[in-house]
Each structure stands twice: as C-alpha cells, then as structure tokens.
Amino acid sequence: MYCSPRRAQSGRANFSAEEEFKKELMESEFEHHAGEIETSVIMAMRADLVKMEALQEIDADSGRARRRLAHLPKTDTAIRWYSDFPDHYAGDARTATPEKGERFIEVRARAVAEIIRSVKEDDEAGRLQAEFHSRTRH
C-alpha cells in the first residue's frame, strides 16, 4: 500500500506500487490468504514454515471462491469466509518464491515509510486528536 504525499494529503491512499508489483511478478490469477504473495513473503522471512511439497496434492481450483452464500447479502464473517474457502486459503501459492517475497517486502516497507513520513509531516491529525481528547468526558 503505497501512499504518495499528495495522495496522503488528499486523504486517498494510493496502492499503485503494490498493484504494479502484482502486475509485474504475479503469475496466479488472484491473491488472497495463503496465495502467491503471502506465501512468497513467508518464504522470504521463514522458509522453514512453508511446505511447498504439500501444494502438489492440492487441486488448482481449490483456492477459488466457492460462493456458496452468494444468494445472501455480502458480509465479512467467519462463516462467509468458510463458505467461499473451506480449505482455509484463497489463491494459488504454487508460483510463490522467496525472491517475490523479498521484493514485496521492500515495496511494502517503502509504502509504510511514506505513510509514516506523511503523517509525521501533518499537523491536522495531531490537532484533531488533541481536540478529541479535550472533548471526551470520562
């Protein structure tokens, strides 16, 4: 999640760096929990936790949303997640690599640094926080 100073000042985050990274390096169709990017990041940080050989037993379509509750209004609940992803992952980690993980960590670190820099340069958030606390009654 990259946030340029101009976008940070306007209140709209810019996710372009991560999106560009995904367009450039992602091989899988989509990314969510335990997919290509998350698995790549864990491979870069703690490769001993990733069991790539287990992926050989998994059907490529098992990480796609099943949409078993699509007839109901969309909610963010545990049962909704399970209805879509009963195997508890979403995406396809078979194309994950430690190199992709390292690159994504760099992109994310730059984005977080930019957000922190923007917030530190901002006076309005601190002023609003002080105002909020002065108006709060205990």
Prediction pTM value:
0.73
- Helix then strand count (H, E) for the chain reads 6, 0
Describe the crossing of helices 16-25 and 98-121 by its angle, rounded to 10 degrees: 170
Cβ neighbours of residue 89 under 8 Å, at least 6 residues apart? 32, 33, 34, 35, 63
| Confidence (pLDDT) at 61 | 78
| Confidence (pLDDT) at 4 | 41
| Confidence (pLDDT) at 122 | 93
| Confidence (pLDDT) at 7 | 43
For residues 39 and 19, what is the distance between their CA atoms, to the nearest angstrom? 17
29 vs 70, more confident: 70
DSSP-assigned beta bridge partners for residue 91? 31
Mean pLDDT of 17-40: 86
Mean pLDDT of 45-54: 95
pLDDT in tens, 7-24: 444 444 556 777 888 888
pLDDT in tens, 78-121: 999 999 999 888 988 999 999 999 999 999 999 899 989 998 89
When divided into structural domains, the chain yields a total of: 1
Look-up: residue for tokens 């993980």?
A: 101
Instruction: Domain of residue 85: give its range.
Output: 5-135
3-state secondary structure of 91: strand
For residues 87 and 50, what is the distance between their CA atoms, to the nearest angstrom? 16
For 63, other C-beta atoms within 10 Å of its C-beta total 26
